[in-house]
């Protein structure tokens, strides 16, 4: 497609966003957004098929090629528009497109694309975190169903999700990587108990989930029975690519720079931006964010062309986790005592949010695969370093 056509499409996207997105929503995915405005915006986004612009039309997407889909994502990020970031869109959907049967795709992808079905991820267990293949949650065949027994932990949004994509052991006698299946089942059924976990920032987005006779349809096994480890690894690659800033994620997240944060939350009157040490750290952080975005964009293109391993997303996840922690450290340094508030008068709402965000990022180098796991993946599968 010609550059003129590309530019015309960009202008079309900008015009639609300008007419459709209300000003009060141009603040990103915050928790305090007006519900009615957010609901209308996400409905409009779904009707345009721009929640998943690169998915095929028959599965609820807009059927756009990579260049046009990237334009949609970039223009939404440029105005800090709220988007659907759930597990269904970023992780399960791409995995189903690759491994699902046509019936499975038709059943699950359109509702995900319309933001009508929410998901949680049943991977980690108390005894199977970094060594995920040691999982012990069992699934026993019973006619056309599987009976699920076991426990998962650190399950994000388990208390609100409609469905779960879950790793279960279907052959306890097979080697640990070979007896695992990837299965989908509804969360609102007998035999499932969810217990929220309160985190250091005061939120309870994670939960423990206990299964005691929960039921899953055999037709909802994705990929071959006992072959779920391959599916599970591919989904993790999608997760790490998303976390690591590929597909424009990191560049979109950095549309509001740390300088903007300091101006808004600290103000200019205390002279923080005049401090050469802080200015140097702000500049270095901004350069690292832009470099990571460009690096991951190049790496993705190479991976799609078969020139590098798909596990390149681990590189982005590793650098992203360290970078986000560093970003919050600088913000807290700039805030000074105003970054130490938890509640009460004397603090702006944005400053209280920043305190909690700083605490939350302490775990960024753990979830989604620890930094140590990412380094192992990079060494083995990207750099091909022999063991």
- Give me the active site residues, please: 239
Rg over CA atoms, the chain: 22
Those residues with Cβ within 8 angstroms of residue 79's Cβ, 6 or more apart along the chain or in another chain:
17, 21, 26
Those residues with Cβ within 8 angstroms of residue 203's Cβ, 6 or more apart along the chain or in another chain:
356, 360
Torsion of CA 324, 152, 193, 203, to 10 degrees: -20
DSSP secondary structure string, 332-351? HHHHGGGGS--SSTTS-HHH
Those residues with Cβ within 8 angstroms of residue 291's Cβ, 6 or more apart along the chain or in another chain:
none
Kindly list the distances between the CA atom of residue 380 and the CA atoms of 178, 244, 383, in Å, as whole numbers in the listed order.
20, 18, 6
H-helix segments, the chain: 3-20, 35-47, 66-78, 87, 93-99, 102-113, 228-243, 249-253, 258-265, 276-304, 313-335, 349-360, 371-377
Q: Which of 117, 42, 57, 64 is nearest to 87 (CA)?
A: 117
d(CA 372, CA 350): 33
d(CA 8, CA 67): 13
d(CA 63, CA 44): 17
d(CA 44, CA 26): 15
């Amino acid at each position: 497609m010609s550059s003129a056509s590309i530019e015309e499409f960009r202008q079309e996207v900008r015009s639609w966003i300008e007419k459709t997105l209300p000003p009060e929503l141009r603040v990103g995915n915050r928790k305090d957004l007006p519900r009615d405005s957010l609901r209308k915006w996400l409905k409009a986004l779904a009707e345009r098929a721009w929640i998943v612009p690169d998915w095929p039309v028959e599965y609820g997407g807009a059927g756009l090629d990579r260049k046009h889909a990237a334009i949609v994502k970039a223009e939404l990020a440029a105005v800090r528009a709220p988007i659907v970031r759930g597990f269904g869109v970023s992780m399960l959907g791409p995995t189903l497109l690759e491994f699902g049967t046509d019936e499975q795709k038709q059943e699950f992808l359109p509702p995900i694309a319309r933001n009508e079905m929410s998901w949680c991820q049943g991977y980690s267990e108390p005894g199977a975190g970094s060594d995920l293949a040691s999982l012990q949650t069992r699934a026993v065949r019973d006619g056309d169903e599987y009976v699920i027994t076991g426990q998962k932990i650190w399950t994000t949004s388990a208390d609100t999700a409609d469905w779960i994509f879950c790793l279960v052991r279907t052959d306890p006698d097979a080697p640990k990587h070979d007896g695992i299946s990837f299965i989908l089942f509804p969360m609102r059924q007998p035999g499932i108990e969810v217990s929220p976990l309160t985190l250091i920032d005061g939120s309870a987005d994670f939960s423990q989930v206990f299964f005691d006779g929960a039921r899953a349809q055999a037709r909802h096994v994705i990929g071959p029975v006992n072959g779920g480890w391959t599916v599970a690894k591919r989904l993790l690659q999608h997760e790490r690519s998303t976390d690591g800033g590929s597909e424009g994620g990191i560049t979109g997240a950095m549309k509001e720079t740390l300088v903007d944060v300091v101006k808004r939350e600290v103000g200019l009157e205390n002279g923080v931006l005049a401090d050469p040490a802080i200015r140097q750290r702000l500049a270095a952080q901004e350069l690292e964010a832009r470099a990571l975005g460009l690096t991951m964009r190049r790496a993705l293109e190479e991976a799609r062309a078969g020139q590098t391993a798909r596990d390149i997303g681990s590189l982005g996840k590793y650098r992203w986790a360290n970078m986000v922690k560093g970003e919050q450290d600088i913000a807290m340094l700039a805030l000074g005592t105003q970054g130490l508030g938890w509640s009460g008068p004397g603090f702006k709402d944005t400053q209280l949010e920043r305190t909690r965000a700083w605490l939350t990022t302490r775990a960024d180098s753990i979830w989604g695969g620890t930094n140590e796991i990412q380094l192992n993946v990079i060494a083995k599968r990207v750099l091909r370093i022999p063991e």
